[in-house]
Amino acid sequence: MVFRDKKVLILSYYWPPSGGSGVQRWMYFAKNFSEFEITPVVITVDEKYASYPSKDLTFNDLVSKIEVHKTKTLEPLRFYSFLKSGKSNKVVPQGNVGGSKKGVLDKIATYIRANYFMPDARVGWNKYAYSKAKSLIQKEHFDFVITTGPPHSTHLVGLQLKKEFGISWLADFRDPWTEVYYNNLFKRTARNEKKDVAMELSVLENADLVLTVGPSMKELLLNKVPSQASKFHFIYNGFDESKFNSLVKVVNQVFTIRYVGTLTENYPYKTFVEALNLLDIEANLIQLEFIGNIEESVYNYIKNSVKYKVINVPSVSHNDAIQYMKNADLLLLLLPFMENSQIMLTGKLFEYLATRNPILCIGDYKADAAKIIEKIENSIVLSQFQEKEISQFIQLTMKSDVIQVQSLLDVAKFSRFETAKELSELIQSY
């Protein structure tokens, strides 16, 4: 394909120094666009006003050459955090306000968030994002406006810009909107539920291109607007090849099983615990490590239910996270229990693949993630009811002489460079 000079305006709430998985998709797309004659300009939230669950300052250097415009925002989650902790950014919930154990404040906050901040609690950014986007569009030419969610409220800015300026618009869904798992935990009124559905449908109908992270979520979205199926696409998340090329694997003193990422009550961790307890292996020969935010009740259950050493490292940079992945003897991937569970395709999966370490996946066989792992040598997908088989796989992996697996997949196609190339071709061909 011949790449022509194009310019895109990206509206993303999450941007460095925000940490976590949500920021990485468009950070890497934007970083690599210049290789394909696309110039990105980004509108985001000034970190002084943002509600980030975490920060990662190591991301800043990756986007230092990109033009970025930062705005103010109105953040009810900052007020919630202040009431809970005395600091505006210490207790910023992800998804469901307050977690699984709710006090009176949590219940009030959940109801207010569900019914007075539609479609999400970061909708207060919209007027600032729209004002900045309008100002830039009036001054210079853009071939595309791109909005990415969550927060899906950002798509409403894209909708407004589309109607006012007629500009081409790509709406990217990193997670589902109305089907996202924590919506079932909200006590939203019937009127507001209908409003939420209507907002999502308006976005899907009016966007020129709808992008998402995997085939199942693509099907979920296009089934809402089947007459416009040709505009729906998916591009996987990926891994930063340059980071993995520089990693050196450190040999562990004991067999180390690592889980990297968030872990809450709606994951099949109890199945994993039951499988561990079937092992006839001495306590000092296995170590379990959970890198990332793990719900307190989950951590306590695991620690009190197994004889093996359990470690939690709650917050690390992305660079440290992938080093932990690389050093693992076995990587654990737990797929959450939820409606439409097959659509869940965590970004860390592709980083797991890049390590070429064995992967134990527990969850739905029909999930997009499971279908990818099934093609990997020395890795396996097992259900929540297969404790014996899980135990056997752990034992087999411990006895194996294979330190790193050879993938049946072409892992390179999941590099951030290749996924940016795929997106660039989509934009260039429109």
Residue 409 in this model has a pLDDT that exceeds 80: no
pLDDT per position as a tens digit, 258-306: 999 999 998 999 999 999 999 999 999 999 999 999 999 999 999 999 9
**Are 338 and 224 part of one and the same domain?**
no
pLDDT per position as a tens digit, 414-426: 999 999 999 999 9
Q: Give the 3-state secondary structure of residue 330.
A: strand
Instruction: Please report the pLDDT score of residue 80 as a whole number.
Output: 44
Tell me the percentage of the chain whose pLDDT exceeds 70.
Answer: 87
**Are 255 and 403 part of one and the same domain?**
yes
Write down the mean pLDDT value for the chain.
89
Confidence of residue 399 (pLDDT cuts 50, 70, 90): confident
**Are 186 and 151 part of one and the same domain?**
yes
Q: Specify whether the CB–CB gap between 311 and 339 falls below 8 A.
A: no
**Are 69 and 213 part of one and the same domain?**
yes
**Are 420 and 341 part of one and the same domain?**
no
**Are 333 and 405 part of one and the same domain?**
yes
**Are 210 and 314 part of one and the same domain?**
no
**Are 269 and 380 part of one and the same domain?**
yes
How many distinct structural domains can be found in the chain? Answer: 2
Can you give the residue range of the structural domain that contains 329?
Answer: 241-411
400-428 b/e (C-beta count within 10 Å ≥ 16 → b): eeeeebebeeebeebbbbbbbbbbbeebb
Instruction: Please report the pLDDT score of residue 43 as a whole number.
Output: 98
Confidence of residue 99 (pLDDT cuts 50, 70, 90): very low
Residue 407 in this model has a pLDDT that exceeds 60: yes
Q: Specify whether the CB–CB gap between 317 and 58 falls below 8 A.
A: yes
Stated pTM of the model? 0.89
**Are 45 and 68 part of one and the same domain?**
yes
Confidence of residue 331 (pLDDT cuts 50, 70, 90): very high
Between 320 and 181, residue with greater pLDDT: 320
Q: CATH no. for residue 296?
A: 3.40.50.2000
Token pair for residue 299?
A: 């951590």
Tell me which residue of 390, 253, 282 sits closest to 332, measured CA to CA: 390
